Amino acid sequence: MKTSKLYFLEPGLAAGLLGIRDAAAIATHSMQGPLFESWAVSEYLKSRCNAGLSLALYFWRDHAGHEVD
């Protein structure tokens, strides 16, 4: 089954929209992991773009929900 993922490529703006205003707030926020993943993906995409490479990214998830990006 093919499923798309959506990444918000500006994690600072996403954090602001979530009401996260400082480092102490993100340390315990439930979106800490997804925001970090979005930051990592955005940096990877910028690197590929600057190198003139394709921006297509893929991930794999098994039926138990384990995932590899």
pLDDT at 41: 85
The Cα–Cα gap between 39 and 58 comes to 16
| Residue 39 vs residue 57, higher pLDDT | 39
11-22 per-position pLDDT tens digit: 888 999 999 999
15-46 per-position pLDDT tens digit: 999 999 998 999 999 999 889 988 888 898 89
pTM above 0.85, yes or no: no
Bridge partners for 68 per DSSP? 60
Q: Which of 20, 52, 24, 51 is nearest to 38 (CA)?
A: 20
Bridge partners for 60 per DSSP? 68
